Amino acid sequence: MDMSMGNQSMTQTFGVNGNAPLWLAAFAPTTEARYIGSIVGLILLGIANRGISAAKWVWIWYTFEQHKTPQKATKSQDSRLQPGKNGAGINEQITKDKEKDSEDSRPGSPPSIIRSTQTPSISKLEPPNSPPIPPFKWQNDVPRTILAVLEAFTGYLLMLAIMTFDAGYFFAVLGGIMIGELVFGRYVLGASVAGHIH
C-alpha cells in the first residue's frame, strides 16, 4: 500500500522557498521582486489584523459606555453624604450609626448590621462585578460583528501563510503583528481597562 501523495510533498521544516504560493496557486511569486512584495503584503496584513482588533475593542467600549446608566444616589443617601443637609454631616451620621449599633446590641448577641426593614426586590439584585449587558441594536452590533469577522479572516490568512513553512513569510507575519501591536496595542488595553472588558 503506497501512502505517498504523488508528486506533492509536504515539507515539515522551515526554509526559504522563494516561490511558495500564498493562499492560491496564482499568488506564487515567480521573481525575487514578487517574493519581496509578498513579504511586504504579509507585514501590512499583520498590522491590519492588530488594527482591526483594536478597532473592535474600541467599538465595544464605545457601545458599552453609550448604554451604561449612571447610578444615582437616592435622596436619603444624598442627605447623609452632604454636610449641612438635615443638620447632619458625614461624621455626625457615623457617630449616630455607632450609637444606634450600641443601643441595638444586647449582651451576648452580635451587633445589628441591617438597619433597614426594607428588603430589596429580586429584580434589583445583580451579581457582584457583573457589567450591564447593553440591549441588541443593529447600529452597534453589526459593525462589531463585521470587525470580528475581519479580525478572524485576516488571522486565518496569516495562519495559512505560516503553514507554507517559508521562513520569509513566517518572519513577515511576526514582524507585522509586532508592529501592529506596537501601534494599536494600547487601544485594546485602554478599552478593556476602561470598560472592564477582557
Place of cell 464605545: 62
Report CA torsion sign: 11, 12, 17, 19: positive
Question: Average of pLDDT values for 18-30?
Answer: 84
Which has the higher per-residue pLDDT, 99 or 161?
A: 161
Question: Average of pLDDT values for 135-152?
Answer: 93
Contact between 58 and 194 (Cβ < 8 Å): no
Which segment, 16-20, 43-47, 128-132, is predicted with the most confidence on average?
A: 43-47
What pLDDT, on the 0 to 100 scale, is given for residue 91? 53
Question: Average of pLDDT values for 69-96?
Answer: 51
Contact between 167 and 14 (Cβ < 8 Å): yes
Q: Give the span between the Cα atoms of 129 and 60, in whole angstroms.
A: 18
Which set of grid coordinates corresponds to residue 89? 454631616
What pLDDT, on the 0 to 100 scale, is given for residue 95? 58
What pLDDT, on the 0 to 100 scale, is given for residue 74? 47
**Which residues is 140 bridged to in the sheet?**
none
Q: Give the span between the Cα atoms of 183 and 46, in whole angstroms.
A: 12
What pLDDT, on the 0 to 100 scale, is given for residue 198? 42
Q: Give the span between the Cα atoms of 51 and 61, in whole angstroms.
A: 15
Q: Give the span between the Cα atoms of 191 and 18, in whole angstroms.
A: 40
Look up the pTM and report it: 0.60
